[in-house]
Structure 1
Amino acid sequence: MEAFSKRFNYLFGSTKGLILVAISMVAIITAVWGMLSGPMAELGVRDVVVKTLGMDMVQTEREGRIIILYHTIAMAIIAIETYMVTSLIKMKEFYKIAVRVLITVGYLMAMIFGMGFAYFGHNWAFHGLYITGLALIFFAGILLTIALSPWNPKYHNTDKEYAHTKKGIDLERMAFFATALTTVLSAMFGAVPGSFYGNGFETFLAENIIRMPHKTVLEYSVIGHLHIMLALIAIMLTLIIGRWLNFKGTWHKIAMPLMILGTIVLNLGVWGVVTPLQPAAHMVIYVGATPSMLAALFLLIWSWRKLIRDGTEHLEKPTFGQKFSALLRDPLKFGPTWQMLFMNFTTSFIGIFMAIRLDEIFRVWPAREERIELTGHWHVLSAIIATIILMYYGDMIGLKGKVRQWYGWGLIILSDVAFAAVTIFEMKRLFITEAVQQPLVNALMYTMDFGLAMLLLLLAIVLAWRLVDLFKSKGRWTEEVEHELVDEVMK
């Protein structure tokens, strides 16, 4: 009983343990439900999984199932980011514990009962517990926002290396606060339409109504909710990575005000989509996204310069090759900012180009092609966020030597190969006709499936190693129980 208690305390009482549980849950969902995808259906795998697990798969309910699936994964990712924030930012112990307990119980309830309701028969008690889990996560977000308040003099920062006001208000903490607050508010954009089920509102996938000339306020609300929540998850992760890498100096002083401004304006634009100002709201969104993207760029510049400087400080006049080698020496420190840069070529620039040339190019395509671009866009951005989290987790658990290199470069190369293939597949109609596309499509599908399969295999190896370690009486986990993150704030 004592052995079980110690392991339970590790898994649900430490930052590393909590993140490990959440990553494991997402990995299981991704691996199992990934077997239901189109390529797996063509190979006959889907039918085997459905029959083996006894899933209830009514075609007319597909949209509802997918929405619950996406929400359960998203809640776990938000929980992971919350664990990271509560470990990196000073706050009262009460808030730290309360937020972690609420969000842990919340995402597990949402995931277990939500998936049970959606895929294994419609037990409405499960649906009620799924909603309860989401409500607990929402309440955890409110408490986290209160805990991150930057106006408490106890959390002021006067260090000249970090961005702050003349009165000492920490602008980095302000950015965390603004992101948490707007996340809580934007969550209601999905909750309000959900409350209208059975009263004229029906489930739909955003990509299925893109060409409808007229949309209701509730439909706009759902579309806005989808976009802003994913953007806020990315913004919060950027702040987390900056905190982890100890982002500071001139670039930090420029980046933090931009991040705050971008977060606020971006949210105002999305909220405006459900108002009569909807046409202008889209321009506000574009304007709001720019400062946030610039802030991420400044983090990249600072981070790469630091990696080069730290790796060549023993050299009097390092050559370009030596600087480049220093930059790539540690994939887990280089990887997160590289993924942010790579994201621009697979999502950001593609999305901007699509918005600018929507009527001239994309609306001329068959609706299926535009739908492919949209779904690919959202999935790639989500997956890039996941790889960055896994890089941070790899550093957090202390991977070293060749294991660190294989893990880090595996995440970078395998994911980027898959994402590049997806991007080419999305935009293929720009350079190839439908009549001759099949060889290219086949090659891209094989490339994408290989990259993602190997990525999941890499993650499975890490999780299996952690599981084996958990059964050891004096495994790595026993040290992690006593010691949180190296740079975690001392309370």
Structure 2
Amino acid sequence: MENSIELKFAAELINSAQLKGTLGKKSFKKEILALILLMFILTGIFFILFRFRNNEIFLSFVQTSREARIIMIYHSLSIPFIAVCTFWLLEFYNVREKMILTIKILILPGTFIASISGAIFAYTRIMLFHDFFYLGMFLVFISGCVFLASVWLKKGKFPYPEEELPEGSTIRGWSIEYFILTILAMSLLISSIIGALAAMENFVGTAFGLNPPREPIAFLAEYIIHDVSHDIVENSVKSHLHIMLVEASAMVMMIAFRYVKMPKNYYKFSLLLCIPGIIIISIGTWLVVFALPIAHMIIYAGSSFLLLASLFIIWFGWKEVAMEELREKYDKASFWKRTRSSFSDPIKSTFYFLLFFSYFVITLPGLIVAANLEKYRTPEYYELEIDFSIGHWHMLATLIATMLLLLAIDYYNVKGKIRKITGITIFLASLLSFGGGTAYTLRPLPDTIIEPYFMITIIGISFLFIGYTLGIFIIYKAYIKDRKQLKKANEADIQD
């Protein structure tokens, strides 16, 4: 009985069309690599600049100046990340072909202009670069509008009737995948507008017409979250931060859905879970703007749908790794042998592990703090709540960035020992950095000895940076190798 089930599962994997939609279309590997390099270079520059704390050329480190600088750094790194996710979606999902060039013309220059100008403005305060930053943001936003139009669902006309969609991805002729992409793009655009309106009101006073107007100073969400009451600008910033992180995670999930081969019934069920998940979370975060007490409960409800959907990615992803390792021996292999084989590829296995690990370093800590919110809002826990807010958001952002890098390493077809070394390095670094960070942010009392947790986190981050460096190096090397092979093949065709 068990053998027949496994054979049926294997047959469904073989017949799965989840990657067929990407065959025969233009690849965006060059654009993805360029944006990954941009993020890596900017991260290295920011790391170096933070070392020159006492150098006057890098401005004063008073609180408001520091907060303004950090906000610009956030955007300088998050914009190329969203752009990378967009190109990954273009890589795996066929969109309206006539709109692809427009998306590229808008999003690539927009991302580079916004990221580089934002980074320069963060450390110089030269307003010209701030204006360029806004120009880049505007181009990226317009590219998002074009992306929305490129995936807009139209029964019988788009996705194109001749396109072979993955089994289990449609219901009554409608593509579930493209419906998710549509609501995901809409949510991102609306949430971007919320952030833009908050910035306008905070610095210009022209969005909400507050009376009296706010003092035009920068602030970080983690430092005002402890306050009893917030105005609409502060609530909008909290909403913007929450939703953009969640939607970035959902984009990575949509990439993973096309990456992992899944039987059609499970695939359909997991996709259907994403629809209420994204819609409910979006509504919950938008309600944060109006300071409604029920907002966070709605966010938790929506998150549960996405968490359940991610379990299918984890299970079938690990199972696929084990089947690739054991091949014809899979059916007769014991449970422990299958389990060991599911970790045979450090790159793929670490991706699925991080998705699973996120339950313990992101989801569970969030629920613990939410259940004890009254305690965390007391004066003696003030510093601890700030530490948790900073750590929680940073760990989520770093975790999804790490997962995307792992997908890139495998997709660029990196082989050999360096692949395993990189995968193991990122795996161990993730255990230390995310595990240590969780222990640090959930320490029992504010006066608890923190040095061990803090040092573990710093060691983990250092190794994670080494893993990133190795990963980007081998991706670049694999890309150059593919380009050379393609050039030789084209030259051979010309000679023939």
Q: Same fold (TM over 0.5)?
A: yes
The answer to whether structure 1 residue 176 and structure 2 residue 181 are counterparts is: yes
Q: 1:114 to 1:411 in 2, by over 3 A?
A: same
Aligned partner (choices 73, 80, 86) of residue 76 of structure 1:
80
Q: 1:386 to 1:480 in 2, by over 3 A?
A: farther
In the TM superposition, what is the alpha-carbon distance from 1:317 to its structure 2 partner? 1.6
8 Å CA contact retained: 2:350, 2:423: yes
1:288 aligned residue: 302
Distance 1:391 1:361 in 2: 35
1:444 aligned residue: 453
In the TM superposition, what is the alpha-carbon distance from 1:99 to its structure 2 partner? 1.2
Distance 1:478 1:262 in 2: 44
Secondary structure of the equivalent of 2:152? coil
Q: 1:256 to 1:319 in 2, by over 3 A?
A: same
In the TM superposition, what is the alpha-carbon distance from 1:158 to its structure 2 partner? 8.1
Distance 2:249 2:166 in 1: 27
2:42 aligned residue: 29
Deviates more, 1:460-469 or 1:254-263: 460-469
The amino acid across from 1:150 in the alignment is L
Distance 1:479 1:448 in 2: 42
Secondary structure of the equivalent of 2:293? helix
1:132 aligned residue: 135
8 Å CA contact retained: 1:16, 1:480: no
In the TM superposition, what is the alpha-carbon distance from 1:340 to its structure 2 partner? 1.1
Deviates more, 1:197-206 or 1:287-296: 197-206
In the TM superposition, what is the alpha-carbon distance from 1:234 to its structure 2 partner? 0.3
Secondary structure of the equivalent of 2:374? coil
Cα deviations across residues 293-350 of structure 1 (Å, max 9, x unaligned)? 1111122222223333343341252012320222011222222221111011111111
Distance 1:217 1:248 in 2: 46
In the TM superposition, what is the alpha-carbon distance from 1:215 to its structure 2 partner? 0.7
The amino acid across from 2:43 in the alignment is T
8 Å CA contact retained: 1:18, 1:83: yes
Q: 1:128 to 1:353 in 2, by over 3 A?
A: same
Q: 1:309 to 1:58 in 2, by over 3 A?
A: closer
Distance 1:482 1:352 in 2: 55
2:3 aligned residue: none
Q: 1:144 to 1:480 in 2, by over 3 A?
A: farther
8 Å CA contact retained: 1:31, 1:456: no
In the TM superposition, what is the alpha-carbon distance from 1:150 to its structure 2 partner? 2.5
Identify unmatched segments of 5+ residues in structure 2.
1-25, 206-212, 490-496
8 Å CA contact retained: 1:247, 1:302: yes
2:320 aligned residue: 306
In the TM superposition, what is the alpha-carbon distance from 1:361 to its structure 2 partner? 4.8
Distance 1:234 1:105 in 2: 24
In the TM superposition, what is the alpha-carbon distance from 1:399 to its structure 2 partner? 0.9
Distance 2:458 2:186 in 1: 38
In the TM superposition, what is the alpha-carbon distance from 1:74 to its structure 2 partner? 0.4
Aligned partner (choices 458, 477, 483) of residue 477 of structure 1:
483
Distance 1:222 1:76 in 2: 20
The amino acid across from 2:484 in the alignment is T
The answer to whether structure 1 residue 149 and structure 2 residue 152 are counterparts is: yes
Superposed, 1:146-295 pairs within 5 Å as: 146-153=149-156, 154-155=158-159, 161-166=167-172, 168-196=173-201, 197-199=203-205, 200-201=213-214, 202=216, 203-275=218-290, 278-295=292-309
The amino acid across from 1:444 in the alignment is Y
Aligned partner (choices 357, 364, 368) of residue 342 of structure 1:
357
1:5 aligned residue: none
The amino acid across from 1:320 in the alignment is F
Secondary structure of the equivalent of 1:379? helix
In the TM superposition, what is the alpha-carbon distance from 1:354 to its structure 2 partner? 0.9
8 Å CA contact retained: 1:221, 1:274: yes
Distance 2:194 2:222 in 1: 17
The amino acid across from 1:139 in the alignment is I
Aligned partner (choices 119, 126, 132) of residue 123 of structure 2:
119
In the TM superposition, what is the alpha-carbon distance from 1:181 to its structure 2 partner? 1.4
8 Å CA contact retained: 2:270, 2:309: yes
Superposed, 1:342-361 pairs within 5 Å as: 342-361=357-376
1:41 aligned residue: none
TM-score by length of 2: 0.84
Distance 1:298 1:246 in 2: 10
2:107 aligned residue: 103
Distance 1:65 1:247 in 2: 44
TM-score by length of 1: 0.85
2:31 aligned residue: 18
1:46 aligned residue: 52
Distance 1:368 1:130 in 2: 33
Secondary structure of the equivalent of 1:195? helix
In the TM superposition, what is the alpha-carbon distance from 1:360 to its structure 2 partner? 3.5
Secondary structure of the equivalent of 2:85? helix
8 Å CA contact retained: 1:252, 1:299: no
Secondary structure of the equivalent of 1:366? helix
When the two chains are superposed, the root-mean-square deviation of aligned CA atoms in Å is 2.5
Secondary structure of the equivalent of 1:399? coil
Secondary structure of the equivalent of 2:47? helix
2:463 aligned residue: 454
Q: 1:389 to 1:479 in 2, by over 3 A?
A: farther
The amino acid across from 1:137 in the alignment is V
In the TM superposition, what is the alpha-carbon distance from 1:110 to its structure 2 partner? 0.8
Deviates more, 1:191-200 or 1:252-261: 191-200
Q: 1:283 to 1:480 in 2, by over 3 A?
A: farther
Distance 2:101 2:485 in 1: 21
